[in-house]
Amino acid sequence: MRMVDLIEKKRDGKELMTEEIQFIIEGYTNNSIPDYQMSALTMAIYFQGMNERERADLTMAMVNSGDTIELSAIEGIKVDKHSTGGVGDTTTLVLGPLVASLGVPVAKMSGRGLGHTGGTIDKLEAVNGFHVEIENDEFIRLVNQNKIAVIGQSGNLTPADKKLYALRDVTGTVNSIPLIASSIMSKKIAAGADAICLDVKTGAGAFMKTIDDSRELANAMVNIGNNVGRKTMAVISDMSQPLGYAIGNALEVKEAIETLRGEGPDDLTELCLTLGSHMVYLAGKATSLKEARQKLVEVIKNGKALETFKVFLKSQGGNSEVVDDPSKLPQAKYQIELPAMENGYVSEIVADEIGTAAMMLGAGRATKESIIDLAVGIVLKKKIGDYVKKDESLLTIYSNIEQIEEVKQKLYSNIKITKQKVDAPILIHEEITRI
Ligand code: URA
Ligand code: CA
């Protein structure tokens, strides 16, 4: 096989065969296919697309380009949740203990964040002592014992995707549905998921800004998953404004605790119940989504979800006292209110810009090398649709620096207030299932 023939084939709109896709991914991983040929191919894919079979083949070729995590020693159906990324997205912290308390095994491999706010590991590390550097055996033992554990990314997972994503980033080929969908799905499958719940965000703070693009990506991933034998579903959820109130690592841990106690923000709670119902159902712990939801509401009410969170933190070295006393989480030196400049209804809270403001305070990483401040961030007091009076606080800024004029300016220019009544945005646009 010659790469140049395969590039021409795709350029001319023809489909690539299974062996051809394997040849390309193997060759690219072992450096026998150079970047310039791969660039030409990704551009051809960008314009010509890929059919369902090609997408599934590309996904599995990337899975097989490196190590895969072996989770067969864990009892039960391992359902993984994946979010395409948002601002103040506290769902993983809530969902893990929530579904684990119903016996769904949560074997989560997670990463650190870049941009906006931290990733799941950063947030958990806001709990003093908590660590994810555990051996594989210990990880599996903990999931069997507590039904939940989190481990840092280790091993050589999907090296083809790493290389390809970096190449796409500098060749104008990131924004291709078949390439994005296979990139995300290959990582979930390599990490050992039996079934996958996807939270595809839509709106200003999301990777996909429009509902049509989000739907196309969600469908592409759901099809890939089901075509390669992993039950997969997706919800499309709002990310025009941040999710919940808190943005920032320790602040989001506190918000997760409140949500597990049944006292969290409505939108975060509802999204967790929706995604959680699908996870419980896919794991075979309920016979319908309705039953799954009832069970989730029950473990929030009777304290089992919160207790599972405590045991989970403690098992990985964390100070579980934070659950009953969140003041034991890292605290910022200053709390600064942002007063509204006029009366009216909040009509816009541009999620990605608010995320950037939190990053400027130190809650997120501007570059991979940045050191994040776990205590700082933003807690919204108003969301889209709420009425606010002049001088009433829109949000609280938690900062370790006193001079934050630039951050305030950024926040003011990304929160709009209008005289006309505004509706809250729809939280869950669609639920896409194939089963
Ligand atoms: N996220 C990924 O993991 N891969 C992509 O291609 C795009 C977003
Ligand atoms: Ca939040």
How much is the pLDDT for 284?
Answer: 97
273, 292 Cβ separation under 8 angstroms: no
Q: Is the pLDDT of residue 20 over 90?
A: yes
Query: Which pLDDT tens digit goes with each residue over 364-387?
Result: 988 888 889 999 999 999 999 999
Ligand 1 probe mutation, 45, 59, 184, most atoms within 8 A of CB: 184
CB atoms within 10 A of CB 419: 10
| Ligand number with the minimum distance to the CA of 220 | 1
Ligand 1 probe mutation, 46, 58, 174, most atoms within 8 A of CB: 174
276, 95 Cβ separation under 8 angstroms: yes
* Ligand 1 atom with the shortest distance to the CA of 179: 6
199, 277 Cβ separation under 8 angstroms: no
Mean local confidence (pLDDT), 394-401? 97
CA 419 to each of CA 164, 344, 347, 423, 424: distance values in angstroms, whole numbers, following the listed order: 48, 5, 9, 13, 15
What 3-state DSSP class applies to 129?
coil
Whole-number Å distance, alpha carbon 249 to ligand 2 midpoint, is 9
Query: Would you say the CB of residue 412 lies under 6 angstroms from ligand 1?
Result: no
Q: Is the pLDDT of residue 232 over 80?
A: yes
Whole-number Å distance, alpha carbon 390 to ligand 2 midpoint, is 25
Query: Would you say the CB of residue 42 lies under 6 angstroms from ligand 1?
Result: no
Residues noted as catalytic = 82, 161, 168, 183, 187
In 49-124, which residue ranges form alpha helices assigned H by DSSP? 52-63, 91-100, 120-124
Q: Is the pLDDT of residue 1 over 70?
A: yes
Structure tokens at 353: 């810009």
- Mean pLDDT over all residues of the chain? 96
| Ligand number with the minimum distance to the CA of 246 | 2
Query: Which pLDDT tens digit goes with each residue over 169-209?
Result: 999 999 999 999 999 999 999 999 999 999 999 998 888 99
Q: Is the pLDDT of residue 4 over 70?
A: yes
How much is the pLDDT for 44?
Answer: 98
Q: Is the pLDDT of residue 113 over 80?
A: no
| Ligand number with the minimum distance to the CA of 217 | 1
- Residue closest via CA to ligand 1's atom 2 equals 184
Q: Is the pLDDT of residue 244 over 90?
A: yes
Structure tokens at 92: 């993983």
Q: Residue 54: how many CA atoms within 13 Å on its side-chain side?
A: 17
Q: Residue 148 forms beta bridges with which residues?
A: 106
Query: Would you say the CB of residue 165 lies under 6 angstroms from ligand 1?
Result: yes
Whole-number Å distance, alpha carbon 337 to ligand 2 midpoint, is 18
How much is the pLDDT for 217?
Answer: 97
Ligand 1 probe mutation, 62, 83, 179, 183, most atoms within 8 A of CB: 183
Whole-number Å distance, alpha carbon 150 to ligand 1 midpoint, is 21
Query: Would you say the CB of residue 183 lies under 6 angstroms from ligand 1?
Result: yes
309, 240 Cβ separation under 8 angstroms: no
**Cα–chain center distance at 196:** 13
The set of residues, in sequence order, having a beta carbon less than 8 Å from that of 6 and lying 6+ positions away, is 16, 20, 23, 24, 41
215, 178 Cβ separation under 8 angstroms: no
- Residue closest via CA to ligand 1's atom 7 equals 180
Whole-number Å distance, alpha carbon 331 to ligand 1 midpoint, is 33
Structure tokens at 215: 């739907």
Higher pLDDT, 112 or 271: 271
How much is the pLDDT for 292?
Answer: 98
Query: Which pLDDT tens digit goes with each residue over 39-88?
Result: 999 999 999 999 999 999 999 999 999 999 989 999 999 999 999 988 88
- Residue closest via CA to ligand 1's atom 3 equals 184
How much is the pLDDT for 245?
Answer: 98
Residue 297: pLDDT band with limits 50, 70, 90: very high
Residue 390: pLDDT band with limits 50, 70, 90: very high
Give all strands (DSSP E) within 96-147, no chain letters. Answer: 106-110
Query: Would you say the CB of residue 180 lies under 6 angstroms from ligand 1?
Result: yes
How much is the pLDDT for 435?
Answer: 60
Whole-number Å distance, alpha carbon 192 to ligand 2 midpoint, is 27
C-alpha 421/C-alpha 398 separation (Å) is: 30
End-to-end CA distance of the chain: 38
Whole-number Å distance, alpha carbon 245 to ligand 2 midpoint, is 5
* Ligand 1 atom with the shortest distance to the CA of 183: 4
C-alpha 289/C-alpha 274 separation (Å) is: 9
| Ligand number with the minimum distance to the CA of 187 | 1
- Residue closest via CA to ligand 1's atom 5 equals 180
Query: Which pLDDT tens digit goes with each residue over 273-290?
Result: 999 999 999 999 999 999
Percent share of the chain, pLDDT over 90: 91
